[in-house]
Amino acid sequence: MAAANSVVLVVISCCLIAASNAQNIFSPLMLGYYNRPGICNQNPEVIIQKIVNGSVAADRTLAAGLLRMHFHDAFVRGTEASVLLKSPNNDAERNAIPNLSLRGFEVIDAAKAAVEKVCPNVVSCADILALAARDSVVAIGGPWWPVPTGRRDGVQSHANETTDLPPPSANFTQLLSMFQKKNLDKVDLVALSAAHTIGRGHCGAFSSRIYDAAGNNAIDPTLDAAYANKLRGFCPPRDTVTTVEMDPNSSLNFDSHYFQAVLAKQGLFKSDAALLTDAGARSLVQTGASAPIIFKSQFGFSMTKMGRIGVLTGRPGEPPSQIRKQCAFVNP
């Protein structure tokens, strides 16, 4: 037992060291970017955390909303807050079908307004979203992870680019390919899939698994039959509006129960079940289920890594960027 514990501690230490040194591995983001002398009179990260904590205390489900929004932002154009932009023609990312159910925009807007009062034209919406996702997870008992800052905001947002988002119907090969295109690996894929430990999913995203797996009203054989019948009780045929817990009986707590559910064939989406179709991914799922501390450490490291996808910092050759005054609109 002592030897096993030592191995666990070594793995955890490696994950934490890797996360804490992330700013040295990748530039130009840095921890405490806004705390440098002459940048802000108050620490904007504290202001953002206060807004997020108050919002999540009032509605615990917002944690899943903010975490999902950060993921959807990162996978389309990178972590440059394009998901927050509104369009007069309804053709921005937030108007695309995968994003119609995003929640938490009002939290980001409130945090931005609060920060602008004490530190105008300095803190990006992209950084606010990355910090809010982290703080919301911590607020419901999840892990803390370092969020290097210094991002700038993009000035474009296109609904047709949301094809970069992994769909809930994806198989493992498709999932891994989509993650690798964002410089994320198999370990990141499994760790970040566990974000499904919180939140709810729409019936339409998995209805084919409980009604039409083989075109004859059959249940998907990769889904536990008793669980499928329970889902049928929540989701009548052709119901696309009702939502159910993605992690049965544990959707408001950030824990490793998701992995236990996947191993029990109770992953809600086809993409969840797909993790068991690859030997390496299955092993990672088993580790996550049996070693929650290791999972949480890896989740934090993978989130830091995801938060660096496609960042804009104003370097030569980058797409145009700015610090938006309002997160939903490009500056005039």
For residue 247, say whether it is annotated as part of any ligand binding site. Answer: yes
Instruction: Establish whether 122 is an annotated binding residue.
Output: no
255 annotated to a ligand binding site: yes
DSSP string of 254-296, one letter each residue? -SSHHHHHHHTT--SSHHHHGGGGSHHHHHHHHHHHH-HHHHH
User: Is residue 70 annotated as a catalytic residue, yes or no?
Assistant: no
SS3 122: coil
Rounded Cα distance between 53 and 45, Å, is 12
257 marked as part of a ligand binding site: no
Taking alpha carbons only, the member of 295, 192, 204 closest to residue 242 is: 204
Helix (H, G, I), strand (E, B) or coil at 32: coil
135 annotated ligand binder: no
197 is in an annotated binding site: yes
Count of C-beta atoms within a 10 Å radius of residue 215: 7
CA distance 65 to 234: 21
Do 277 and 172 form a contact (C-beta atoms < 8 A)?
yes
Reading the block at residue 116, the tokens are 């602008």
Contacts of 120 (CB under 8 A, 6+ apart): none
Whether residue 32 is annotated as binding a ligand: the answer is no
- Residue 126 is encoded by which pair of tokens? 């992209």
CA distance 285 to 329: 40
Q: Are 30 and 149 in contact (CB under 8 A)?
A: yes
Per the CB < 8 A criterion, the answer to whether 153 and 126 are in contact is: yes
| Catalytic residue chosen out of the listed positions 72, 158, 202, 257 | 72
Q: Are 162 and 98 in contact (CB under 8 A)?
A: yes
C-alpha 69: how far from its chain's center? 6
> Residue 78, annotated ligand binder?
yes
Binding residues for heme b: 196
Binding residues for substrate: 166
Binding residues for Ca(2+): 73, 76, 78, 82, 93, 197, 247, 255
Please list the active-site residues.
72
